[in-house]
Amino acid sequence: MTQAHVLPFVYSMAFGLLLGIERERSHRGGARLALGSRTFALLAVVGTLAAALGTWVIVVGTGAVAALLVVGYRRTNQDDPGTTTEVAALATYLLGALCYHDPRLATGLAISLVVLLASKARIHSFVREIVTDTELEDALKFLVIAFVVLPLLPDRAVGPYGVLNPWRIWLIVVAFTGISWVGYIAVRALGPRRGLLATGLASGFVSATATTASMGRIGRQPEHLVPAVAGAQISSVATFIELEAIVIVVSPHIALRLALPLACGAVVLSLVAISFYRRPKGAPAPDGETPLSGDSGSPIGGRAFALMPALILAVVLTAALLVGRWGAAVFGSKGAVFASGAAGLADAHAGAISAATLFSKGELHIDAALAAVAAALVVNTVVKCVVAFAAGGTRFGWRFSVGVVPAVLVVLAALLIPTPLGR
């Protein structure tokens, strides 16, 4: 007998004990469990042994374990009507069987199961107290566009120049809406939704330009100027994060080259926003503001699932791809850079994605693609600064620009640094 034969049994006994201990601790002071830590360990080991003996033994063992769990549940269901422990016990047996063939996968799944079981209170609190019916409805819509619509679209190039791929374009819509939803819910889960700083971060995943305009209108009130500027600045941090996440979908190589510059820009802008937010010691806190504070309603004045901005992004992206490919064909790489900059008038993501797509198709060199991304980011930053002055006035506009412009300059400077990973 070799070590390879023994290790699966060691792993299965270990995670079986871990699962059993978690189940026993979760019932401290409550009803007595029919299944304890030793039983869970035995179930895992029996599953591994069944896998060693053959497939039919696993099947027969599964039926026997299920029957035993039903009998045990009938004896204890009056004290504890839940079925979590019984389901976890059956999963432990099956994980034990999996452990014979792939110990690492089985152990990883078992640890994930322990985390899930131990997070009962947090999960229930999140579902019942944080997520609203509207947000749940938005989550279902996202699942439809991601797992129903996306698989039905053709994954092939169509249209002029062969640069339009319905599946990849819709994948951008899925990525945009998914990131927006996750960012929205993540901020909601941090606690009571008070303060324009958290509001800006959440809304930045939907539209940093729109957030800047909203914060500018709020910042016209002197008592709200400081938190409104910080909220607008932090919304552009979400732009950096979302830009990197979406470009990964199109071109991991470009995303790798952008990772450090965008991270540096996000750090600089975050530090500026936080320091600016904390600067006035005597300024009133944003608590009590209406409707921006409080524990009810939407933190960004909208919905978690932003399909329309994503569709607009897809349209802009399609146009940018066509113009970029046309510009590259007629004017060379300079035409693609100009097209990406023009797309940045509407959204920084569209220009960056079009450049990354052209690079992935071999239409652009990496230097030209990065220049196009920089052009889209710079143009979009100029647009946000103009919006800040128009919506919030001179005081708001200058304070907003003092944070955003240096952050973008840091991104551009970092892009100029040659790295072996990006070449």
- Given phi > 0 = left and psi -120 to 50 = alpha, else beta, which region is 290? beta
Res. 81: pLDDT tops 80: no
* Residue 421 lies inside a defined structural domain of this protein: no
- Cβ atoms of 210 and 232 within 8 Å: the answer is no
Please identify, among 99, 118, 137, the residue that sits at the C-terminal boundary of a domain: 118
Distance CA 97, CA 81 (A): 28
Residues 309 and 196 in one domain: yes
Question: What mean pLDDT comes out for the span 134-151?
Answer: 83
The reply to whether omega before 291 is within 30° of 0 (cis) is: yes
Q: What's the pLDDT at 97?
A: 93
**Residue 238 CA: distances (Å) to CA of 178, 206, 231, 244, 276:** 14, 9, 11, 10, 18
Residues 177 and 57 in one domain: no
Residues 274 and 328 in one domain: yes
Instruction: Name residue 211's amino acid.
Output: T
The partner residues of 164 in beta bridges, in order of sequence, read: 158
* Residue 71 lies inside a defined structural domain of this protein: yes
* Residue 17 lies inside a defined structural domain of this protein: yes
Phi then psi for 300, rounded to 5 degrees?
-120, 10
Three-class secondary structure of residue 158 per DSSP: strand
Phi then psi for 158, rounded to 5 degrees?
-140, 170
Phi then psi for 61, rounded to 5 degrees?
-65, -35
Quick one: tokens of 41? 């360990």
Q: Specify the DSSP class assigned to residue 286.
A: S
> pTM for the complete prediction?
0.51
Question: Which residues touch 225 (CB under 8 Å, ≥6 apart)?
Answer: 219, 395, 396, 399
Cα 256 to chain centroid distance, Å, stands at: 18
Residues 334 and 229 in one domain: yes
Distance CA 403, CA 197 (A): 14
Quick one: tokens of 308? 């329309």
Q: Mind listing the pLDDT tens digit for each residue in 85-112?
A: 888 999 999 999 999 999 999 999 999 9
**Residue 66 CA: distances (Å) to CA of 43, 69, 88, 404:** 11, 5, 11, 60
Instruction: Name residue 108's amino acid.
Output: G
Residues 151 and 62 in one domain: no
Please identify, among 118, 152, 178, the residue that sits at the C-terminal boundary of a domain: 118
Res. 227: pLDDT tops 50: yes
* Residue 20 lies inside a defined structural domain of this protein: yes
Q: What's the pLDDT at 248?
A: 82
Question: What mean pLDDT comes out for the span 19-31?
Answer: 77
Please identify, among 92, 118, 144, the residue that sits at the C-terminal boundary of a domain: 118
Question: What mean pLDDT comes out for the span 364-390?
Answer: 79
Residues 357 and 243 in one domain: yes
Question: What mean pLDDT comes out for the span 174-200?
Answer: 58
CB atoms within 10 A of CB 377: 28
Residues 140 and 289 in one domain: yes
Which residue would you say has higher pLDDT here, 232 or 129? 232
Which residue would you say has higher pLDDT here, 161 or 375? 375
Distance CA 255, CA 244 (A): 6
Residues 336 and 358 in one domain: yes
Quick one: tokens of 336? 């693609």
Q: Mind listing the pLDDT tens digit for each residue in 280-328?
A: 544 444 444 334 333 334 444 455 566 776 676 567 656 655 665 666 5
Residues 132 and 253 in one domain: yes
CB atoms within 10 A of CB 400: 29
Which residue would you say has higher pLDDT here, 69 or 294? 69
* Residue 422 lies inside a defined structural domain of this protein: no
* Residue 263 lies inside a defined structural domain of this protein: yes
Three-class secondary structure of residue 164 per DSSP: strand
Q: Mind listing the pLDDT tens digit for each residue in 107-117?
A: 999 999 999 98
* Residue 423 lies inside a defined structural domain of this protein: no
**Residue 171 CA: distances (Å) to CA of 166, 303, 323, 347, 369:** 8, 20, 20, 17, 20
Q: What's the pLDDT at 95?
A: 94
Question: What mean pLDDT comes out for the span 28-47?
Answer: 79
- Cβ atoms of 201 and 183 within 8 Å: the answer is yes
Residues 94 and 211 in one domain: no
Name the domain count of the chain: 2
* Residue 50 lies inside a defined structural domain of this protein: yes
Residue with tokens 């566009």: 145
Give the domain extent around 133: 127-415
Residues 211 and 360 in one domain: yes
Residues 250 and 201 in one domain: yes
